[in-house]
Structures are given as C-alpha cells and as structure tokens.
Structure 1
Amino acid sequence: MAYATIEDLRGRLDWTLDADEERIAANALEDAADLAAHYGRDWPEDTAPRMVRTLTLKAATRYMRNPDGYVQSRAGDETLAWNDAAGENAGTVYFTAEEQKLLAGLAGRNSGLYSVGVTAWRSVRRPTGAGLVPVDPFGKEFPLYADEVEPW
C-alpha cells in the first residue's frame, strides 16, 4: 500500500534525488503509509482521503530533509544536537501528535466524552408512579425523585 509516489515526494524536495536517496525515499514513503494505517485505518489506495496522502508526504519529506533528526549543527566545532520534542522518533519517519489525531479523525476514531443511555436489565418503563425506578426482577421500585411536576 502506498498513499503517495516517489514523483509526489520529488515535487516537495528542492534537490534531485540520486539512486541511494531514491531507495531511502521509497522506504520512507512505505514507513509513512504503514504509520498512517496504524494511526488511522488501512484505507484502500484508491479510496484514501486526500489528507492521508498529504500527511504521508509531509512525514516522508520531514525525514528526507533531516534523516538524523538534528535540531542544531555547527561546522566549526562539529556540534550536533537533537531535540527531545521528537523523542524516540528523532531520525525516523513519524507523525506528530496533531497529525496522529487528524489520522484518527479521518478514520472515524475520535476520542472524547460520549453520553450513553443506560437502563436496568429487564426493566420496563411504566407511565404510572413518577419517580420510581425498578431495582429487582420482583417489581420492587426505588424512588429516584419525588416530584411529578419537576423531577430534577
């Protein structure tokens, strides 16, 4: 499965890829597609949302521009530095936390708070006896609220 092609990636890079870089770019696109399927879902290539292609290219481009994950490099003293913001993903193809949320949203796996109606097992709603809730299978009821006009 590939959500983007080498040609798509070439359009985002400002240099011409040599044979070795083409191999690395193909692997980066494959890794990004695998991660997109993990954080989102395994979309068929022809029905994947355009944003999946965009995010896959974004992750592969980020990796191709900085494969070692450096945040600072100095030639004089040969200083190299990595940032902890990328954590274990420094130097790999990765999606940021925001991109991961976007992929999950595209897949219909939004996290959040939901409300679900709950009823007791084998309970029967009765129009009489306002404020009484069945508590056992023998018909005993518990007064949940007392006023028929303003129950809460």
Structure 2
Amino acid sequence: MAYASLDELTERLGRTLDEAEELMAEAALEDATALAMEYGREWPEDDPPRLVKTLVLRSVRRYMENPDGFTTSRAGDETVQWSDAHGRDAGSVYFTRDEQALLKGLAGRTPGLMSASVSAWGPQRPLPRDVTAGYVPAAGMPHSEIPYFAHPTEPW
C-alpha cells in the first residue's frame, strides 16, 4: 500500500529508474506511507489528501537522491552538502519536523488546549448550609491542602 505511485515519483525525480532503483523506490514509497500513517492517520489509499501524497513523494525523492545518507560529498574543487540529512535520518525515508507537524494537522492531531462540557449525572445531594468551603489533599505534597469551594446547587 502506498499513497503515491512509482510513475509520480519518476516524474518528480526527472529521470527513469533502472530495475534495482524501481524496487528500492517501491519499498521507500511503502515506508513513507507507513510513516505518514504513524504521524497522521490512515487515509484511503485510493484518495489520500493531496498534501499527504506530496509529503510522501518529497520524502522518497529525498531518499532516492541520497540513498547512502551522505551529508557532504567532495570531488576536486566541488563540494555538495545536504543540509537536511543528519543523524539517524540520513540514508533513510523520513519526514522533517515541519512535515510531521503538517501530517498531524491534516489528521486533526494538533496539540492544544481543549474544553469539554461536563454535566452531572443522576441525583445530586444538596450541600448542608454551613458547608461552603473545604480543603482537599494535594497530590505529591504531604501535609498540604488546597482550598475547595462548594457552591450550593439549590437555593437555601
């Protein structure tokens, strides 16, 4: 299963692949798809979001252009440097941090503050008239209490 085809990758690379490269590219497309599912979610294979397909192709193209994971290559006076290939990612299919964030956003997995409405279920006990404030123990802090203010649910 892959979110992009070998033909689409070949167009991105701008060259034809030999038989060994085609096998490597197909495996890389499957790996990138699995990573896209890990960082995002599982989209339908026949119709993933356009940006997901773009990110998969970008990741595989990066890998196919530098499968050995070189960070610097020198030949005579010419030096080529891959600034985005470093550490454990060099020589593998990977998504950059920005690409990971895009996948999470597309999947609706962005971190942030949320609110949830809460309602009481079942009968509620009215509080005695003299109880309007109390204290509860604070977790991890022995002999400490934090104030807990109770508001009556019914008028007295």
TM-score of the two chains, using structure 1 as the length reference:
0.72
Distance 1:58 1:84 in 2: 12
Considering only aligned residues, what root-mean-square deviation do their CA atoms show, in Å? 3.1
SS in 2 for 1:12: helix
Matched with 1:47 is 47
% identical aligned pairs? 54
Give 1:10 deviation, angstroms.
0.3
Separation in 2 of the partners of 1:51 and 1:110? 16
Q: TM-score, normalised by structure 2?
A: 0.71
Aligned 1:100-139 pairs, distance under 5 A:
100-117=100-117, 137=125, 139=127
Secondary structure of 2:104's match? helix
Q: Which residue of 1 aligns with 2:86?
A: 86
Q: Aligned to 1:73, what secondary structure does the other structure show?
A: strand
Residue of structure 1 equivalent to 2:11: 11
Give the match's secondary structure for 2:64.
helix
1:30 corresponds in structure 2 to 30
Deviation for aligned residue 1:15:
2.4
Contact preservation (8 Å) 1:70, 1:80: no
For 1:32, give the aligned amino acid.
A
